[in-house]
Amino acid sequence: MAINFYDYVSSYDFVPFAELQSNDDFKVISSKQSSLISTAIKEVYKKKSEVTIEFKPETIKKEKTILKFKLKQAHQYASDPDGYLRYKLTAVNGQVFVSNYNKKEIEHDLGVKRYDGIVEIVFSKNLMQSVKYIDFYYKDNTDAWLDLKGELPDSWEHCGRVTIGAASTCYCNRGFTEEEMTNILTQLRKSDDVHYEIQFDKSGNTLYIDKEGKVISSTDTGRRPPEAVDKYRVQKNAFDKEGINIFDFKMEEKIQSKDANINTLTDELNKAFEKYQINTCIRKIHFLAQSYEESQRFHKTYESNPISTLSGGEHYRGRGLLQLTHDYNYEKFYIDLFKKIPTEKELDNFASRVSKELHLAVFGSAFYWKNIGSLKGNISQFADKDDVLTVSKEINGYKKNNALPNGYEERVRYTNELKKIFKYEKCINKK
């Protein structure tokens, strides 16, 4: 009787991720199991296990969480289910950790325990945010694997990967999508300039509304103003009036129309935030709140009535999202960009570009935020403490007699509103 080769080897399955023991800390996004891998037939069955898991935002705030895999037989000659098996962990920063047989642990802060075919991986808070993936390898023969350290030799067979990700509901360490920025602006405008407007008919007569909410015609004199009838008021806000049009105010200098859109704004903010480390929710919230106030709801990037004490003269009035002001500040930004000291004419021309080119309007503001400030600089340090008053002073200036910065009430309100829009209470870095 002929022995079927494949029947024979199939009794030595290697299925590293036979069971991923899911719990509330993470969710399995996708899972593909290797059905059969054995060295003898690896060319035929070269399927690899692939599992993608995502840690939930609440989990990432925990000190640690445990991920468990139950292994089937790792190799036909192995006495342990996880015999001849190695794990290699790759972090976002490129750091690699490899399991060591003797210690039965990967040498880093992520502890790995193995017992009865269970691989238990402990993720610290730090690691949950930095791990990219865990690779699983197995070795066919018994040579040179007991004292394995460092990089895995090529002869090890890659048989599966677990990709780890943090559920991205907060804005730390990532850019905004255009959709998210649209939502942020929409919500901000809806929360702003809220009031009730009395409604009138075509002839300008006041309209009334009855108990049931029905509008009463102004010609219906018999029914007004009785009790239970009120003036017809409608709630209006900045969104009703302005939509999400941006940088559209008619000014002497304004953003070029090709850049006056959410797509370009999102793109420039993302790049500037990365470059100047405005990289957590709270920093972004404060930066956007101040920008929103300074640019009159992202409508203008040019100051209409400059102060009389401008260094360098009136030309060096406020420009950009945060109103970069004074010749010496424009010069610092110029040097940061071009790595040279500008001539007077070059600086003159450059200043005008900060209100017209969105790239400069955004980067000039982020540069000011990180490197200048009105007194202490690096405004992120005050954002980190959620200190709106000092952030506002660093943007608007420290006034005599400790008076509040201009528009302080709005700065506070926009900051609070952005916290709601960002769902800041769920931020992975919220203290």
**Rounded distance between C-alpha atoms, residue 101 and residue 87, angstroms:** 10
Min dist CB 88 to Zn ion, Å, is 29
Q: Closer to Zn ion at the Cβ: 361 or 427?
A: 427
Min dist CB 426 to Zn ion, Å, is 8
In SS3 terms, 276-328 reads as CCCCCHHHHHHHHHHHHHHCCCCCCCECCCCCCCCCCCHHHCCECCCCECCHH
**Rounded distance between C-alpha atoms, residue 379 and residue 251, angstroms:** 29
Residue 13: phi and psi, rounded to 5, are -55, 150
Q: Closer to Zn ion at the Cβ: 119 or 281?
A: 281
Cis peptide preceding 225, ω within 30 of 0: yes
Q: Closer to Zn ion at the Cβ: 281 or 322?
A: 281
Min dist CB 276 to Zn ion, Å, is 17
For 92, residues 6+ apart whose C-beta sits below 8 A from its C-beta are 130, 131, 132
Where does residue 10 fall: left (phi above 0), alpha (psi -120 to 50 degrees), or beta otherwise? alpha
Q: Closer to Zn ion at the Cβ: 170 or 360?
A: 170
Min dist CB 172 to Zn ion, Å, is 3
Binding segment toward Zn ion, per CB under 5 A, in 43-51, 261-269, 302-310, 421-429: 421-429
The residue count for binding Zn ion (CB under 5 A) is 4
Q: Closer to Zn ion at the Cβ: 131 or 281?
A: 281
Residues in the chain: 431
Which residues sit opposite 65 in a β-bridge? 123
Q: CA Rg, the chain, in Å?
A: 31
Q: Closer to Zn ion at the Cβ: 209 or 285?
A: 285
Min dist CB 160 to Zn ion, Å, is 31
Instruction: Name the H helices within 155-237.
Output: 178-190
For 281, residues 6+ apart whose C-beta sits below 8 A from its C-beta are 170, 171, 172, 422, 424, 427, 429, 430
Q: What part of residues 256-295 is at the interface with Zn ion (CB under 5 A)?
A: 281
Q: Closer to Zn ion at the Cβ: 129 or 290?
A: 129
Q: What part of residues 161-180 is at the interface with Zn ion (CB under 5 A)?
A: 170, 172
**Rounded distance between C-alpha atoms, residue 191 and residue 414, angstroms:** 9
Min dist CB 57 to Zn ion, Å, is 8
- Relative to beta strand 131-138, strand 85-91 is antiparallel
Q: Name the DSSP class of 157.
A: E
Min dist CB 163 to Zn ion, Å, is 21
Min dist CB 181 to Zn ion, Å, is 16
Q: What part of residues 379-418 is at the interface with Zn ion (CB under 5 A)?
A: none
Q: Closer to Zn ion at the Cβ: 360 or 427?
A: 427
Q: What part of residues 122-161 is at the interface with Zn ion (CB under 5 A)?
A: none
Q: Does 427 bind Zn ion (CB under 5 A)?
A: yes
Binding site for Zn ion (CB under 5 A): 170, 172, 281, 427
